[in-house]
């Protein structure tokens, strides 16, 4: 015996009855509903008739509907005039029309899920050559249903003002006005107000500037004793090396002693204390090389559903593989990836930090401070990002050019784009031996810093 698709005929009757007896309810429901949301075919006919009358600016009631259906030889299909009268008489109160609408929407979504998953299952029995493409298309199909469920509507400005006021009251009560997630870098948090949920943050630099170390510093600062985890996708470095760097940073351990194992001979207690501290970081690491963007999305959704999610860090953007097999334009592929990362940030309501390479054109200029145009395979990266940040160490270039000066570790964090705030520069000290960035000593009256700290060991 075939199974019956999910439906609720009583809710459909009540909704149509509400449309017949109230002009306001009719217009509101027409804006929020469509004929495929109804299960009963006669109800689809009625809904389309009401929609057409409304389009022609004709009032919707039993009389006008009867006339329209007669003209189109459809009155018998809906049960005649008697059924229309029953609909209008069966509505106990208009106040429940939103409730009826929600029931109908939910049943409609369930039917869509059944139809689409059935198609996916049938196709899976076929000869599929591109399994990644098949999985990607299947995910897109299910995402489309989700988007239908969460489709936005116009929001009354009064409601928005209440939300803005509530946020201002919350900010007023927060010490330091940090509304987002703290990175624990004093001046960076001050200029950004923390990492904001739903933001895509691009962190770009040339090799050896310390972008991976900086991203890891932020990740373990956020993850330390956090209830919600931080997800790290390391496409270039295995998880063991990545964790080794974090241990060096948190424990003030020189990387060379970790690489040779010397630390266990000279100061084992220091290592185990640092490892214990790192174990308290709520970190989830994926070191799959060449991971596809759709795999990143799926893994993050699953992590949030099972454990929660506070921040996503990806090292680095250009190593992500697109979901399409079309390799005609790598720039277009990277642009598509950046858009999907922005959509992921919005969907999961978490900040996403994506590391990015800069083109070699930086090295060919006398002034090697990075610019927006230096973003490699930029495409839509600049457009999609809420914040674009560059890392620049002038001392590194002076030392590499054979000048007598040594790299003193002074680092500029250049905020070149900030969609919802100020741009500017933040000075930090890079302790390369420890894979660690630190705040400079506060020297300003407001606690900010602008000086140079020599961190050579």
- Helix (H) or strand (E) holding 414, with range, is strand 410-418
Buried b (16+ CB within 10 A) or exposed e, 150-176: eeeeeeeeeeeeeeeeeeeeeeeeeee
The residue ranges of DSSP E strands in 303-420, in sequence order, are 311-315, 352-357, 387-392, 410-418
Instruction: Answer for the pair 276, 246: CB distance below 8 angstroms, yes or no.
Output: no
Q: Say how many Å lie between the first and final Cα of the chain, rounded.
A: 79
**Does residue 427 contact residue 451 with C-beta atoms inside 8 Å?**
yes
Give the separation between CA 166 and CA 63, rounded to whole angstroms: 48
Residue 125 is encoded by which pair of tokens? Answer: 């029995």
Measured from the Cβ of residue 453, the count of other Cβ atoms closer than 10 Å reads 16
Given the residues 139, 236, 254, 412, select the one marked as catalytic. Answer: 236
Q: How far apart are CA 323 and CA 337, in angstroms?
A: 9
C-alpha span between 62 and 17 (Å, rounded): 10
Whole-number Cα distances in Å, 333 to 173, 294, 301, 338, 403: 44, 13, 22, 9, 41
Active site (annotated) includes residue 406? no
Please report where in the chains the tokens 């933001």 appear, as a residue: 199
Sign of the four-CA dihedral 247, 252, 257, 262: negative
- The backbone torsions φ and ψ at residue 249, rounded to the nearest 5 degrees and listed phi first, read -65, -50
Contact between 277 and 251 under an 8 Å Cβ cutoff? The reply is yes
Peptide bond just before 143 cis, omega within 30 deg: no
CA atoms of 414 and 437, how far apart (whole Å): 15
CA–CA distance, 283 with 231 (Å, rounded to integer): 6
Structure tokens, 286: 């994926």
For the chain, the maximum distance between any two Cα atoms, rounded to a whole number of angstroms, is 97
Query: What amino acid positions are annotated as catalytic residues?
Result: 236
């Amino acid at each position: 015996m075939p199974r019956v698709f999910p439906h609720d005929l009583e809710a459909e009757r009540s909704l149509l009855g509400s449309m017949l007896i109230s002009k306001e309810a009719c217009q509101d429901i027409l804006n929020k509903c469509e004929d495929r949301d109804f299960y009963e075919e006669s109800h689809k006919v009625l809904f389309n008739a009401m929609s057409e009358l409304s389009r022609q600016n004709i009032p919707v009631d039993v009389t006008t509907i009867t006339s329209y259906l007669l003209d189109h030889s459809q009155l018998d299909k809906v049960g005649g005039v008697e059924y229309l009268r029953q609909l209008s008489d069966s509505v106990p109160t208009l106040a429940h029309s939103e409730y009826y609408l929600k029931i109908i929407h939910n049943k409609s979504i369930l039917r869509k899920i059944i139809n689409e998953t059935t198609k996916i299952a049938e196709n899976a029995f076929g000869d599929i050559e591109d399994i990644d493409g098949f999985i990607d298309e299947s995910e897109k199909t299910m995402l489309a249903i989700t988007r239908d469920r969460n489709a936005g509507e116009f929001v009354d400005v009064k409601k928005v003002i209440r939300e803005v006021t509530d946020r201002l009251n919350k900010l007023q009560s927060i010490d330091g006005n940090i509304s987002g997630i703290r990175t624990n870098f004093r001046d960076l948090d001050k200029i950004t107000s923390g990492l904001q949920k739903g933001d895509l943050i691009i962190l770009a630099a040339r090799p050896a500037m310390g972008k991976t170390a900086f991203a890891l510093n932020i990740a373990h600062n956020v993850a330390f004793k956090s209830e919600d985890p931080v997800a790290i996708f390391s496409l270039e470095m295995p998880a063991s090396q990545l964790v080794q760097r974090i241990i060096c940073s948190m424990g003030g351990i020189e990387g060379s002693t970790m690489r040779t194992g010397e630390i266990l001979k000279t100061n084992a207690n220091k290592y185990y204390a640092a490892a214990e501290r790192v174990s308290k970081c709520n970190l989830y690491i994926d070191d799959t090389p060449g991971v596809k963007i759709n795999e990143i999305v799926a893994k993050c959704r699953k992590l949030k559903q099972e454990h929660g999610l506070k921040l996503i860090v990806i090292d680095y953007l250009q190593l992500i593989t697109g979901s399409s097999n079309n390799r005609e334009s790598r720039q277009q592929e990277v642009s598509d990836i950046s858009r999907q990362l922005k959509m992921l940030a919005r969907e999961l309501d978490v900040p996403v930090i994506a590391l990015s390479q800069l083109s070699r054109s930086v090295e060919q200029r006398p002034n090697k401070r990075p610019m927006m145009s230096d973003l490699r395979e930029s495409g839509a990266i600049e457009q999609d990002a809420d914040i674009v940040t560059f890392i620049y160490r002038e001392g590194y270039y002076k030392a590499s050019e054979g000048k007598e000066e040594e790299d003193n570790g002074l680092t500029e964090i250049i905020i070149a784009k900030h969609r919802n705030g100020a741009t500017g520069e933040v000075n930090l000290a890079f302790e390369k031996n420890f894979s660690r960035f630190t705040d400079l000593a506060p020297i300003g009256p407001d606690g900010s810093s602008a000086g140079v700290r020599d961190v050579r060991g």
